[in-house]
Amino acid sequence: MAETATAVNGSGSSGTRSCGRGSSTPSDNYFLARRRTLQVVVSSLLTEAGFESAEKAAVETLTEMLQSYLTEIGRSAKSFCEHTARTQPTLPDVVVTLIEMGFNVDTLPAYAKRSQRMVITAPPVTNHPVVPKALSAGQNRPHPAHIPSHLPEFPDPHTYIKTPTCREPVGDYQVLREKAASQRRDVERALTRFMAKTGETQSLFKDDTSIFPLIAARPLSIPYLNALLPSELELQQVEETDSSEQDDQTDTENLSMHLHADDPGEEKENSSVLQHSSLKGGEDTMIDNPYLRPVKKPKLRRKK
């Protein structure tokens, strides 16, 4: 009889294995495990009843009936529990459900103490996968007195506390000058290193040429040519002088024409004043030091 029960159990488990090969979700795995446990229970009940063998279709039918019976007991017990404004079913709810379904509750103690019963080992308990905790920043605030404890906790402080992400611009004159000087120094150092790596260099030490490289001086074919050619500063000064003289000349012509049309008697006086101012402006442009030059006032253009 035990061999027959083993054969029946083996046939049921093989069927569930074939059905569970394609399942991968947790809900499907739970359904297959529950179905397999019910099949083992049905096989044990058949063995206790004296059956030596059973067809697979019969075992499946009895398993479906047992599953429907247990599902109905659970549903009715939950209904009685909710009817009394509770959330967890208790033993009286199950007893009332069995009585409503027509089951004789008094026979349960004798059936539980039967001598030929078969003890089914509990399925192995699998440890639930540990869910990694999310990264938390700071310490969460506890609930105030007016908020119930069953409500969710406060989120991390960084989700509702203002966090400055930028600094205020520095406006100190000394700090700005030091920053500009350090940037200029870094640019010069980077440019010097670039020229030293890309061009010819000279070293202070003969043993190691990579220490303190110096930019090699390139002798010119005509050394005195730079002394004869004007520098960029002189060319800029000449251009500014030419443009200022041209503007003064244009203003003088426009003013003389305007005075000639208004009052021909004051033409000589105004022309002498303009000549004096032009000579004075020419003397000012001869000063080489830019810090000693007088302040140039904006020129007023008169409409013709």
pLDDT in tens, 113-143: 888 888 877 767 777 777 776 666 677 788 8
Same domain, yes or no, for 207 and 250? no
pLDDT digits (tens, 9 = 90+) for 67-76: 999 999 999 9
Domain boundary among 59, 88, 112: 112
Phi, psi of 28, rounded to the nearest 5 degrees: -65, -40
| Same domain (yes/no): 103, 190 | no
Same domain, 214 and 262: no
Name the pTM for this structure: 0.36
Determine contact, residues 48/118, Cβ cutoff 8 Å. yes
Looking at every residue in the chain, the average pLDDT score rounds to 75
7 vs 32, 41, 44, 302, CA distance in Å? 20, 14, 12, 118
Over pLDDT 90: what percentage of the chain? 17
Domain co-membership, 60 together with 87 = yes
Share of the chain above pLDDT 70, in %: 69
**Per-residue confidence at 255, pLDDT binned at 50, 70, 90?**
low
Q: How far apart are CA 285 and CA 237, in angstroms?
A: 9
Range of the domain at 191: 179-218
- How far is it between the farthest Cα atoms of the chain? 148
| 154 inside domain | no
The three-class DSSP label of residue 141 is coil
Contact, 255 vs 270, CB < 8 A? yes
Residues 243 and 287 placed together within one structural domain of the fold? yes
Residues 253 and 212 in one domain: no
Contact call for residues 267 and 260 (beta carbons, < 8 A) = yes
Which of 88, 112, 136 delimits the end of a domain?
112
Q: Answer yes or no: is 99 within a domain.
A: yes
Distance CA 155, CA 140 (A): 7
Convert the chain into a string of H (helix), E (strand) and C (coil).
CHHHHHHHHHHHHHHHHHHHCCCCCHHHHHHHHHHHHHHHHHHHHHHHHCCCCCCHHHHHHHHHHHHHHHHHHHHHHHHHHHHCCCCCCCHHHHHHHHHHCCCCHHHHHHHHCCCCCCCCCCCCCCCCCCCCCCCCCCCCCCCCCCCCCCCCCCCCHHHCCCCCCCCCCCCCHHHHHHHHHHHHHHHHHHHHHHHHHHCCEEECCCCCCCCCEEECCCCCCCCCHHHHCCCHHHHHHHHHHHHHHHHHHHHHHHHHHHHHHHCHHHHHHHHHHHHHHHHHHHHHHCCCCHHHCCCCCCCCCCCC
Q: In the numeric block, which tokens belong to residue 4?
A: 């027959």
- 143 vs 167, higher pLDDT: 143
* 93 and 183 housed in the same domain: no
Inform me whether the pLDDT recorded for 112 exceeds 80.
yes
Establish if 31 belongs to a structural domain: yes
- Is residue 29 in some structural domain? yes
Domain stops at, among 157, 187, 218: 218
Q: Is the pLDDT of residue 181 over 90?
A: yes
**Mean per-residue pLDDT, 43-62:** 89
Q: Does 54 reside within a domain?
A: yes
59: tokens are: 């075992």
Do 280 and 248 fall within a single domain?
yes
Q: Which of 13-17, 31-35, 180-184, 222-226 has the lowest mean pLDDT?
A: 13-17
What's the number of domains the chain is made of?
A: 3
For tokens 């980077």, what's the residue? 190
Tell me which residue has tokens 């202070």: 204
What residues contact 40, with CB distance under 8 A and at least 6 apart? Answer: 9, 12, 120
Shared-domain flag, residues 105 and 53:
yes
The 10s digit of each residue's pLDDT in 191-244 is: 888 888 888 887 777 777 677 777 777 777 887 877 787 777 777 787 888 777
